[in-house]
Every structure is written in C-alpha cells, then in structure tokens.
C-alpha cells in the first residue's frame, strides 16, 4: 500500500520537510506531477537543499526515488540537479512515459505571459504549461523517445510543424530540428540509464510488500480542475492525480496526509482572500523567508483560511494534517483565522466557483511569544495550543504533526 503527502493550500506548504521526515520509514518515494516549476527545500544541520524534480527521499541511501509518468521533465534541469549527488544508479528511476519540456516550451511560456497583460497567470515560465498542452494535443515527446533517435527525430519534426503557427504569432525563432535532436541525444547519455517502466516497478514493489510514499508538487488550490481557475497550475495536484501520475490504483493509496502552513502564502497572480497587505503580511514574509525555491519571487502572505482548508481536505480525503511553520507566527500580538466568507450579501462556509467575489470573515486569537524549536506538545504556549485546537476542530481532521522550525528534527508528533 502507498501513503500520500499533498499540499492543501497554494503550494509551498512545507511538503519537502514532511517527505524528508517520513522517507526513512519508506522503501520508495515517488513524485507524481508537476515539473521543475516547483521546489522543495529541506534543511539538514543548517544546510539548505533545494529539490525541483528529484523526490525528497533522495537523502536516505536505502530509499528508491521515482519520477513518475505524470511529471514533465526538463532534461537540462534534471541533469543539473543530479550533479551534487553521487552514484544514484539503483536509487533514482525515471518513468519512460514522462513527457519532456523542450526549449520551445519555455519560449512559448515566456511569450504568453509577456503578452497576457493583466490576465497573466504569474507562472514560473519554465515551460511546464506548454509541455502539458503538447501532451494533451498528442504531440509531446516522452522519455522513452530518447532511446530511439529515429522516432525522436520524427516527433521533433511533427511538434515543430504543429507549433509553427504559434511561433509566427509570437515572433519566435524556435531551435531547429537538428539542434534539438543533438541536444536531446547528449542528455540521453545521462538520463536513459535511469529510465524504466515506473508503473511496473511500483506494482512489483507493492507485490513484495514494500512501503511507498507519493509526493505531490504545488497545492490543492492550484489544481487544474478544482483550484482557483484560471490562476492554477497545469496538472492535477490533488490526491486523485497520484493515481494517474504513477499508475497506482486509487484503492492502493492507504493514507492521505494533508500539509498546510500555520498561515497562507501564494506565488504569482490569482485569488487569495486572506492576503494581508499591511505590516503583519510583511512580517510573515520576512520571518518566514517567503521567497520561491524556484524563482526567488516574494510570496504573498496572509492568514490561515479554514474554508479553503476544509474544501481541500474533502477533495483529497485527508486522514491527518501536518501544520508547518508555526514558529513564523511567534511574536505577533494577535493571529487571525478566516472561518467563513462574505459572498453576495450572505455568509458562506464553502468555496464558490467565482472565488474572486468572496471576502474573508475572521476570528482573532491572542498571539504567543515563542514556539521555535519546541518538540513536545505540552511545552507549547497555551495560546498556540488554543490556535491549533481551533484549526483541528473547525477543519475536522486530526493534526498529527506540527513543525516548529525549518530544521528536520524540530517537529511535534501528536
């Protein structure tokens, strides 16, 4: 059976730390969607390690790590990410069905964002969206194509032909077929040895009683179907995406662990009801070091949104919650929580489709001095306990873990 870690906000919840903390108990960690537009930061003995494509279990020698078929892969970015690690053969596996991000995907991403004016999504411009677009249009190039130069050449030619109208529309000069082919053949020398039928690998692992942990990227409120559309990512970030992105059946997933910060953040444009534009929002950004792992962009900061959290927990079927970065709230005089929305002159407790029209209704709590580094629940200040117990009661899902600093071991298991 497999367990699943999923973000229930707008991404950047701290999933990397949780997966790193849990991975020692698992035989396999598998990433099931997204691309190098997402980043997980792990802090070990004060050293920050940023991962974008490689699963967070890579820091444990016993753990086998799989980049699943639902991921879109920049071959150049992955090769660069591999460099700090030694001898990953037998520990890293790449699905032969995963699609490849090519230079023209990045060019299209940048061009579309630049021409979108006020409707820009605020993407990372890493080519992820256009790569998923080509996947759906059936002109994508998959990892297994790297092992067959003739088929690879044909598919590059087909894709360039299909995308030529877009290139003309945006005035783009795509790399030639020969340039792309030569570049991918060089990348193939590094990556093909890691390639496998990852679904079969996972099925065999299950048949042999191995423990599997599925790791998502971004957060539930960015899901292509259930997020704040159109300001979303290009894949299914919720638990349902783990099945299509790995080949595991829904019934194979035993436990879903939802991850949330003790406040909320969002990168890029889009609806964010609890965003704080004042000094408290600035405080959260500075104290929480809220800058994107991938882009370095400052994240927008605001208060915990219980309505959105309940929605995401229901979408994912969360069995438990991990609350991250509680220590960032240290020192605030008061802490707010959104418990309902004002919507069309009514008070509602659900997420409507026209999410841009809601206004948050807050409940306010007394702040606390310090929780940083605390590892036992009984040692938390009473104000912090009151805050956490309110979140648990309102969301209706048990809080099983609390993080009190970026360090790997600074957690409270409840």
pLDDT digits (tens, 9 = 90+) for 65-75: 999 999 999 99
In order, the DSSP letters of 254-280 are EEEEEEEESSEEE-SSS--TTB--SHH
Residue 272 pLDDT > 60: yes
Token pair 């841009």 is found at: 356
Identify the band that residue 221 occupies on the pLDDT scale cut at 50, 70 and 90: very high
CATH homologous superfamily of 2-75+198-413: Adenylosuccinate Synthetase, subunit A, domain 3 (3.90.170.10)
CA distance 274 to 266: 10
Write down the number of H helices and E strands in the chain. 11, 20
Lowest-confidence segment of 44-48, 237-241, 366-370 by average pLDDT: 44-48
Among 40, 52, 144, 226, the one annotated catalytic: 40
Other residues' Cβ atoms within 10 Å of the Cβ of residue 218: 26
Q: Domain 99-193, what architecture?
A: Orthogonal Bundle (1.10)
Residue 124 pLDDT > 90: no
Structure tokens at 316: 């994912």
Residue 143 pLDDT > 60: yes
Residue 408 pLDDT > 60: yes
Residue 285 pLDDT > 80: yes
Question: Where are the domains positioned within the chain?
Answer: 2-75+198-413, 99-193
Structure tokens at 265: 């953040």
- According to DSSP, residue 375 is labeled -
- Confirm whether 40 is a catalytic residue: yes
Q: What is the mean pLDDT of the chain?
A: 94
């Amino acid at each position: 059976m497999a367990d699943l870690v999923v973000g229930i906000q707008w991404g950047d919840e701290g999933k990397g730390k949780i997966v790193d903390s849990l991975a020692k108990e698992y035989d396999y960690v598998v990433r099931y969607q997204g691309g190098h537009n997402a980043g997980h930061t792990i802090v070990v003995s004060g050293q920050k390690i940023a991962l974008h494509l490689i699963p967070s279990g890579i820091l444990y020698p016993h753990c086998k790590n799989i980049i699943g078929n639902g991921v879109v892969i920049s071959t150049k970015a992955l090769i660069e990410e591999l460099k700090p690690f030694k001898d990953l053969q037998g520990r890293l596996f790449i699905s032969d069905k995963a699609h490849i991000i090519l230079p023209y995907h990045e060019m299209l991403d940048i061009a579309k964002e630049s021409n979108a004016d006020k409707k820009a999504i605020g993407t990372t411009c890493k080519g992820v969206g256009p790569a998923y677009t080509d996947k759906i249009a059936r002109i994508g190039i998959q990892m297994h194509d790297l092992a067959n130069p003739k088929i690879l050449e044909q598919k590059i030619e087909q894709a360039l032909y299909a995308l030529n109208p877009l290139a003309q529309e945006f005035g783009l000069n795509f790399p030639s077929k020969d340039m792309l082919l030569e570049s991918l053949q060089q990348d193939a020398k590094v990556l093909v040895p890691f390639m496998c039928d990852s679904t079969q690998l996972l099925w065999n692992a299950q048949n042999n009683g191995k423990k599997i942990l599925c790791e998502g990227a971004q957060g539930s409120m960015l899901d292509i179907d259930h997020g704040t559309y159109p300001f979303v990512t290009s894949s299914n970030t919720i638990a349902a995406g783990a099945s299509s992105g790995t080949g595991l059946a829904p019934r194979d997933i035993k436990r879903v662990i939802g991850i949330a910060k003790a406040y909320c953040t969002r990168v890029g444009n889009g609806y964010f009801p609890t965003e704080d534009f004042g000094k408290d929002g600035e405080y959260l950004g500075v104290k929480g070091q809220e800058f994107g792992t991938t882009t370095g962009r400052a994240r927008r900061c605001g208060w915990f949104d219980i309505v959105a959290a309940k929605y995401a927990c229901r979408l994912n079927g969360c069995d438990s919650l991990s609350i991250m970065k509680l220590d960032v709230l240290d020192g605030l005089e008061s802490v707010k929580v959104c418990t309902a929305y004002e919507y069309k002159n009514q008070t509602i407790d659900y997420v409507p489709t026209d999410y841009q029209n809601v206004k948050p209704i807050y409940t306010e709590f007394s702040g606390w001095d310090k929780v940083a580094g605390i590892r036992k629940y009984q040692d938390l200040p009473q104000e912090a306990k009151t805050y956490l117990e309110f979140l648990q009661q309102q969301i209706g899902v048990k809080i099983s873990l609390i993080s009190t600093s970026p360090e790997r071991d600074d957690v409270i298991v409840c």
